[in-house]
Amino acid sequence: MSKELIRLSDLTMTFEDGETILNGINLYINDQEFLTLLGPSGCGKTTTLRIIGGFLTPTSGDVFFDGKRINDVPPYQRRINTVFQRYALFPHLDVYDNIAFGLRLSKLPEKEVDDRVTEMLETISLRGFENRHVTSLSGGQQQRVAIARALVNRPEVLLLDEPLGALDMRLRKDMQVELKRIQQAMGITFVYVTHDQEEALTMSDTVVVMDKGRIQQIGTPQDIYNEPKNAFVADFIGESNILDGIMRDDLLVEFFGRKFECVDKGFGKNEPVDVVIRPEDVDIVPPDQGHLCGTVTSITFKGVHFDIIVDFKGFKWLIQTTDYQPVGAKIGIRLNPEDIHVMRKSGYSGQFGDYSSYSAEYDEIAEGGEDEE
């Protein structure tokens, strides 16, 4: 891709109360890249963003911008702008003055300020709202003003801290497309923070999955989804059934006492591994034709598909299917080699991927509880 723009080198961040928020973050961000920091609340993603923005100084480690160390450069001297969580628009200024704020500070002639603000209002389709008070705007409109206020300065990097967090589902989807379009049209590097995995997969060139102050995996959205590095990533990105297995040989893994062909290699002989099976990859067949046989214990209608929980010898799987399966039915499943993904054991092994305590509400509770870090 293009050249490297930002480099974070061995960043750690420990707050005054002794809590370590970041622990050895190494990351580089390319010019014009759309990079997303993804993770649950408290994982350190916002802290990382605030260090890049200059609002926090790391306890140790360095931040480089275009090859220069910028640890001690204050925010107002960085060629970086931020779209803040819940916008942080200036309540004493109208829409126009909010957007013009940065341009006027850089002492541009008023004519150019006017041209650029007007052009920006066009981009965010808020022409005619110039003199409206920001508090009288809807959430979506405020959000667009916040983006315009940052972008109008033509920064090299735009930092976005959960910018769509306060919007409803539909508006969110529209804005995701809109943001991606703006990013590509203006050729600006975006560093985007979210806890929403779908948002991350939809928009990013690169996804950085974080947990407990460490980077768990860096990769393209496809990599992250198809080749998760550990049980945390597999569970956080989409749904996963994670089983204990043993790698018998290259391309051969054993679980539930049965050997399966797979596409993974390079593990030690008889190495214990985690096996990931995505719920949508499982094919349901009559019991006598299956690799494995189980009993349906619950079924939930999700619109596009059904979530069914199937009990295989006491271990419960989540399977997504478009066919209705009554509770109590015996079904067989088939797994193709590419449906099976093998991961090395990690500190997260055994914590995720078991649907024994699954309930339909579980997802919503987990997502609803998310808030500012």
Partner 1 sequence: MRNRLLSAPYLVWVVLFTVVPLGVVFYFAFTDSITGRFTLANMAGMATYLPIIMRSIWLSLISAMICLVIGYPVAYCIAQASPTRQKFYLMLVMLPMCMSFLLRTLAWVSLLEDTGIINNFLRALGLTPLPLIRTNGAVVLGMVYNYIPYMILPLSTVIMKIDPRLIEAAQDLGCNNAMVFRRVVLPLSVPGIVSGVTMVFVPAVSTFYISQKLGSTGTTLIGDVIESQFKAAYNPNLGAAMSLVLMVLIFLCVGAMNRFSGTDGEEVMAP
Q: Is 109 in the site for partner 1 (CB under 8 A)?
A: no
Q: Is residue 101 a contact residue for partner 1 (CB under 8 A)? A: yes
> Which residue lies nearer to partner 1 by CB, 16 or 323?
16
Q: Candidates 38-46, 77-85, 265-273, 346-354 — which segment interacts with partner 1 by CB under 8 A?
A: 77-85
- Strands of the sheet containing 68-69, edge to edge, are 20-30, 4-14, 60-65, 68-69
**What would the two tokens of residue 20 be?**
């370590």
Least distance from C-beta 54 to partner 1, angstroms? 8
Q: What does DSSP say about strands 20-30 and 4-14: parallel, antiparallel, or unpaired?
A: antiparallel
Residue 99 or residue 242: which is nearer to partner 1 going by CB? 99
83 vs 215 by CB, closer to partner 1: 83
Residue 256 C-beta: closest distance to partner 1, Å: 52
Stretch 220-279 residues interacting with partner 1 (CB under 8 A):
none
Per-residue interface string for the shown chain with partner 1, residues 42-61, x marking contact by CB under 8 A: -----------xxx------
CB 229 within 8 A of CB 351: no
Interaction between residue 74 and partner 1 (CB under 8 A): yes
For residue 171, give both structure tokens.
């508006």
139 touching partner 1, by CB under 8 A:
no
3-state secondary structure 57-94: CCCEEEEEECCEECCCCCHHHCCEEEEECCECCCCCCE
In terms of CB distance, is 76 or 365 closer to partner 1? 76
Rg (CA), the chain: 24
CA 219 and chain centroid, separation: 11
Residue written as token pair 């649907």: 355
Q: Min. distance of Cβ 126 from partner 1 in angstroms? A: 18
Nearer to partner 1, 189 or 197 (CB): 189
Whole-number Å distance between alpha carbons of 167 and 86: 10
Residue in 51, 70, 134, 150 binding partner 1, rule: CB under 8 A: 150
**Alpha-carbon dihedral angle through residues 312, 313, 316, 320, given to the nearest 10 degrees:** 0
Residue 85 binds partner 1 (CB under 8 A): yes
Which of 105, 263, 360, 366 touches partner 1 by CB under 8 A? Answer: 105
d(CA 108, CA 102): 10
- C-alpha 101, offset from chain centre: 31
Q: Is 76 in the site for partner 1 (CB under 8 A)?
A: yes
**Residue from 36, 123, 153, 217 that binds partner 1 (CB under 8 A)?**
153
* Interface ranges with partner 1 (CB under 8 A): 53-55, 74-76, 80-82, 84-86, 88-92, 101-102, 105-106, 149-150, 153
